[in-house]
Amino acid sequence: MALQKRKKKTVRARRRTGADGAPVEKGFDSVMYYFQNEVDRKETINLVKSFVKSQFNKTDAKNILANPDYCFGHSYMGSTSYWYINANEVTERSEYWRNGVINRLKELVDRGKSILKEKASQKKVEKNVISLSPMQRLQNKISNTIMQDLLDLEDQWIEGEKTTIDVYGLFKKHGLPGSATGQVRNVVEGWLLDYEDALFARCDQAVEGYSHLKKPELKRRVKACQEMLLDLDRVKSAAKATRKTRVKQPLAADKQVKNVKYKTEDPSFKLVSINPTQIVGKVRLYTFNTKTRVLAEYLTQAVKGFEISGTSIKNFDKANSRQVKLRKPQEFLPEIFDRTPKQISKAWSDLTTKSSVPNGRINSDTILLRVLDK
């Protein structure tokens, strides 16, 4: 009995995915289109980084690679890097895109230098102490929050979804300040420029790069970018409106009066000055110049009362403050010590000499008579 031959089992080859599945045999344009739809961002970033190392000297490559990963996540950069890393045929089309990628990467050199310089300065801190500057903490927060939201949105657009995001709401959700809008604006304005260039046929490179998108979708993305930029303006305006105004704290009384020159005592008029620290914060002050025989009454409407700067009284109300030259000081000055402001004012009005506005200066001939809280 003849034995039947067994059929050989054929194992079907697994479909290649990611960059490995790129249709190289169909040409450079097909690879670009494939990367836009089939290759994830992480793999794209790794390919671009490898391309940087192969195309730039060690110093420039180090500076470029110091930039955040989102700088290397564009599909056209990934497809071009893949084409040259794998030594595929160099064509006019591939060279055109290679030059575009190289120029884009060159722009990252100076930015990378600044990042590395900042990192180098941090190494001077003690080994076991990790201390980030406020700017670094903000940069990390931006990269881990709103930038990730933008990258997710870009991924959704690449996959053909008609989505958008509420940038204003996300800033509030993540607790980001108005100063964080600058970096986000750079990304969104870059998108807007590319989409408008493609929509209005202002750039052949953009037209070709987004040839897979129809005009309605380009218009939708342009409008979405414009809305995001308006949201960034609103965030910045809201930050300005809620910014706390810095209130300058007054100096302590003893520091305010350290340069004041005044007359502590005058035997001829039998007067003794109060301590000048008592003036600070009060609302009414009486002084007498023993040389010119001028009596002055200072009044202030300021909530914090009088302040002293150098040898001058600050915050006094020139409209209600006054001074007068006394003909008989010994007869009138006792009124200052024993009476209320209303009674003093009545006695003042009986003087025949004309009152004027004081200048607020205190000198070595000035006796500080009395201060009041009202």
DSSP annotation string for 172-202 = HHHT--GGGHHHHHHHHHHHHHHHHHHHTT-
pLDDT tens per residue, range 55-87? 999 999 999 999 999 899 888 999 999 999 988
Q: Residue 230 carries which side chain, given as an amino acid letter?
A: L
Distance CA 203, CA 196 (A): 9
Q: Which of 2-11, 63-72, 191-200, 310-319 has the lowest mean pLDDT?
A: 2-11
H/E stretch holding 286 reads strand 284-289
Question: Is residue 318 within 8 Å of residue 324, measured between CB atoms?
Answer: no
* Collapsed DSSP state (helix, strand, coil) of residue 108: helix
Nearest in space to 365 (alpha carbons), one of 293, 312, 304: 293
Q: Considering the entire predicted model, what is its pTM?
A: 0.42
What is the separation of C-alpha 160 from the centre of its chain, rounded to a whole number of angstroms? 35
Quote the CA–CA distance of 287 and 284 in Å, as a whole number.
Answer: 10
> Which pLDDT tens digit goes with each residue over 261-285?
999 998 888 888 999 989 898 999 9
Whole-angstrom distance, CA of residue 295 vs CA of residue 308 = 19
Q: What is the pLDDT of residues 102-152, one digit of tens each?
A: 999 999 999 999 999 888 887 765 555 567 788 888 888 999 999 999 999
Q: Which residues sit opposite 307 in a β-bridge?
A: 314
- How does pLDDT run across 234-258, given as a tens digit for each residue? 998 888 777 766 666 778 888 888 8
